[in-house]
Structure 1
Amino acid sequence: MGKTNNERSDSHLQYQIIQEPPVPDHLLGEWTNDGVPGTRSRLFLPASCRTLLGDLSVPVMDIAFLERELSLERLHCIERWLWMAGRPMPPRPLHHQRLLGREIVITESMDMHLVWSKRRILVKPIPRFLLDKGFWQTVLRCQHLPDSFQTPADTNYGRSGYERRRQLWRIAHGFLFSYAALVAYESDLDIAKSIGLVPAHIEWPAWQGLVRHVLHVEGENSILQSIDERFVYGELRLGRLNKIYRITQGGSAVVRGYLSEWATYGDFFNDNLAWLAGAVAYIAIVLTAMQVGLGTNCLKDDNAFHAASYGFTVFSILGPLVVVLVVFVAFCLAFVSNWVSAVAYKRKRLGEVRSRAQLPYNRS
């Protein structure tokens, strides 16, 4: 026998848990809490954003925009392998990043946040809307209900809407969690404000209050249960991300990786052939030593040494040639892949532009 409306209402009150926003009140001032984001929310958005077709548009505070702005899709694809790219620990503070000689470079891509290579680390500035409690209550309000439980209230967003908001909440909370580690000292806050990572008006007492809210967890739960799994791992090494992405994703990822480490083809050859010069120098030293050994009385009649010298001589001739050939083949694959992608995008893009302008489309 089905439940009555009163029984369903009681069950709803029993199981409904409203997640408390991990930010304090009025960190950025008042919010127009009228059920939807107010006009003031536009001040928190970028001036423009790109659509899937590459067009520029004025951003609107909705779930679709937030899913693009906070997207971790590429990292979710390789989530099970993230332990190979970084340790399961919070990132080190900003002052320590500088101590390591790393340049702090701004990125606006969430999936590049805390990715490092050589002498730089990429850090995403905190979007202002993530510092406003009203945004969390109005846009990301998220209700935890048992999977088997549904109420008429769910029709507001649908189950998919609830799950999407819950995922965004976990990502946003994890992002703020990473900043709780990056800005641990007042000197870190000074660094963050000087390079535009946090709003300049936030003072140290306000930041301490924010961190307390971010790290506060109800009951005996761990903070790691409230954030996206990506943020369990702090700093991720780009070189290893590229290898993981090429091996696991296939297709164009084999050539492009997670993020290309080479701005030009010259950089590609420099990185892949620079080590060869050192290897050739070592080979030259070994060949010289073998030549000297063959002239000594102890080794000139040693058949094993003669065989080793012969094998290493052949290797010293063919080895560098094979390496150069492999690098050249990789270059050709990258060049062809980039060319094909550029031509395909050009045709798609120009076709879209011309169809909008109602002009005939030339396929040549």
Structure 2
Amino acid sequence: MRKLDPTFYTVAIAAVLAIAASVLLNQLVGSTPGSHAQKMTGGSAHAANTSTLRPVWAASATGRVEPSGGEVRIAAEIPARIVEVIATTNDRVSGGDLLVRLDSSDLMQKLIAAEAEAEVRVRERDEDVEEAAATGPALDRRKAEDALYASERASFRALMAADDVYRQHRADEADADALTKAREALAEAEQKEADDRAALEKLAENANMPLPTRLESSLTIARTEVAQVVHAIEKTRVRAPQDGAVLNVWAKVGEMAAPSPDAALLLFGDISSLRVRAEVEERDVTRIRIGQRVVVRADAFPDQEFEGVVTQIAPALGAPRITSRGPRRPTDVEVLEVLIGLDGTPPLLTGMRVDAFFRHEAAAAATQ
């Protein structure tokens, strides 16, 4: 095979370079100063338009859905063994309904003894000649104290009866009418107690009221012991703090209940309306206002948006509890807690993680 002359390679490379230089020169000549200025002007206008655009949202934040009044972790007030769990998850209950019952057998025995002691003190007072001769304000006070004690005992019995009927109703052993009557009887007894207490307090304002006698003081002490035992018994009955729903039940029969928030028996909340507890980053805190409209989105409902309004803003920054800060900044305090009341009754579940988008004030006014 014939070997090519190196001069041929040199000439070929030079020809290629000449062609490339000619093409580049033609492009530079065709690019006039006017067209170049027009391109520069167009680019500047685009940059100016871009700089005047405003973000769609004033701010955004991560949040969690919770009942409108917040979640209430209900714990026992005294340490005792759980003997009955009446409530179940998703139960709708009224304020005062019995949820969990703790062991009160020893307290019931103490109540019997305290009531017997009070009855003995009453007989001692009534059999005393000087006490029987009491007249005027002293007699009025005695009658008022007796009436109040009787109404207190009636209220306690009505409460225990209402609890029994409620438990029977939950077990389908009593109808709704029986429960309604028991609650009405309890309300009447409590009203009678309140009236008698007010009457006694009014008598105590009398400047001419004589001091209690020794027997009257002994009777007052005995009745106070009865009231203390009744109060202790009531602590063994865990009740709904208000109308709402039982969100979760952790209590189990046989376990020991402890008076600690870390040993809650139930999770309670009013889910008739919902709110979002959002954490706004520090850089966005000046963009949040009370009454600002908010759009809430949840991954569980990708095609839906839920409207709400800012109802409360924390007065200070705090540590985030929803979003993770990462290992490089474990002690930073950088979020502002904001409460957002949701409109209507959205199908969101409590505890669900959502994204909150805060509208600009002008945009919010335009949508209203």
Q: Which has the larger radius of gyration?
A: 2
Asked if Structure 1 and Structure 2 have the same fold, meaning a TM-score greater than 0.5 normalized by the shorter chain, the answer is no
> Smaller-chain TM-score range?
under 0.3
Q: Which has the higher contact order (CA 8 A, sep 6+)?
A: 2
What TM-score results when the alignment is normalised by the length of structure 1?
0.22
